[in-house]
Structures are given as C-alpha cells and as structure tokens.
Amino acid sequence: MIHVKKTLFAFMLFSWGASAVNCSVKGYDTGVHPAFIANKTIATAPACKGLCTSYVAPKCDSFAFGGGECLLYNVTVAGNVNPSNSSTFTFYDSSCTVS
Ligand SMILES: *[C@@H]1O[C@H](CO)[C@@H](O)[C@H](O)[C@H]1NC(C)=O
Ligand SMILES: *[C@@H]1O[C@H](CO)[C@@H](O)[C@H](O)[C@H]1NC(C)=O
Ligand SMILES: *[C@@H]1O[C@H](CO)[C@@H](O)[C@H](O)[C@H]1NC(C)=O
Ligand SMILES: *[C@@H]1O[C@H](CO)[C@@H](O)[C@H](O)[C@H]1NC(C)=O
C-alpha cells in the first residue's frame, strides 16, 4: 500500500513538473493575478528576467516582456495567460532561458 502511494505521488510530481514550465507564450494575463511590478525602463527580455530573479518577496514566478515594458507576476504562466499570437507581450516562467 505505502509503496503504491509513493509511486503515485512521484508520478504526480513528475507530471506537474513537466507541465509547469511555459516559455515564449504570446498572450495576455487573465487579470485574476495582475502583475505586481510593471517596469517601463527595462529594454530587453534578459533584463526583464534579471529583474524577476532579483525578487524574493513577493517571489517572481513568471514575467512578460513586450513593447518596452517588463511585467512581473507571482504566479506561473500556466493558468494565468490567455494565449494570443497578436499580443505584443511574451510570457515566460522564471526558469525559462531568454535571449
Ligand atoms: C504550458 O505548457 C503546457 C505543457 O507544454 C501546455 O499544455 C500548456 O498549454 C501551456 N500553457 C500555456 C498558457 O501556454
Ligand atoms: C501576488 O501579487 C498580487 C498582485 O498581483 C498581490 O495582491 C498578492 O498579495 C501577491 N501574493 C503574494 C503571495 O505575494
Ligand atoms: C525599473 O528597473 C530599473 C532597472 O532595474 C530600476 O533601476 C528601476 O528602479 C525600476 N523602476 C521601477 C518603477 O520598478
Ligand atoms: C500561434 O503561432 C504558433 C506558431 O506560428 C502556432 O503554432 C499556434 O497555433 C498559434 N496559436 C494561436 C492561438 O493562434
């Protein structure tokens, strides 16, 4: 019994981990968890990621960059973004590599 539960738990963790990272998603946030920071002086996506990783409290879980604006969110991309290719904003989870 215990063994079965551990296996199931590990599987759930793995599934969650595999679907948790979303990089380069064009779209708009749903508005439920608005950005906690909007910085219009950040000019590049790597600089935006840098600002994100510099935040500890609130923890920055994802960021969006577009139109010379950097937005930081304390939730991950999954569930917070409505994908739309016509958006000027591109969303990344904080662990994404950006160039
Ligand atoms: C996030 O990534 C998962 C797994 O690749 C995918 O199913 C999901 O549609 C993505 N979500 C967004 C908002 O892009
Ligand atoms: C997350 O950010 C929102 C603003 O978008 C804020 O109201 C909320 O308190 C923050 N949550 C945490 C855990 O920092
Ligand atoms: C925007 O980011 C720049 C560079 O990190 C920083 O110097 C500035 O204080 C930030 N402004 C706001 C409003 O967060
Ligand atoms: C956005 O563009 C990508 C690549 O061109 C395409 O695979 C995807 O289906 C498009 N998504 C939407 C919602 O139009």
Which residue has better confidence, 28 or 16?
28
At residue 12, does pLDDT exceed 70? no
User: How close are the terminal C-alpha atoms of the chain, in Å?
Assistant: 47
Res 77 pLDDT > 70: yes
From the CA of 37, how far away is ligand 3's center (Å)? Answer: 9
In a domain, 16, yes or no: no
- The pLDDT tens digits for 26-66 are 999 999 999 999 999 999 999 999 999 999 999 999 999 99
Residues 6+ away with beta carbon under 8 Å from 91: 22, 24, 25, 26, 27, 29, 62, 63, 64, 77, 80, 81
Q: Cβ distance 36 to 72 under 8 Å?
A: yes
User: How many angstroms does the Cα of residue 16 sit away from the middle of ligand 1?
Assistant: 11
Mean pLDDT score, 64-78: 96
* C-beta of 38 in contact with ligand 2 (< 6 A): no
Report if residue 48 sits inside a domain: yes
Which residue's CA is the nearest one to ligand 2's atom 1? 74
Q: pLDDT value at position 49?
A: 98
For the chain, how many structural domains are there in total?
Answer: 1
CATH code, domain carrying 89: 3.50.4.10
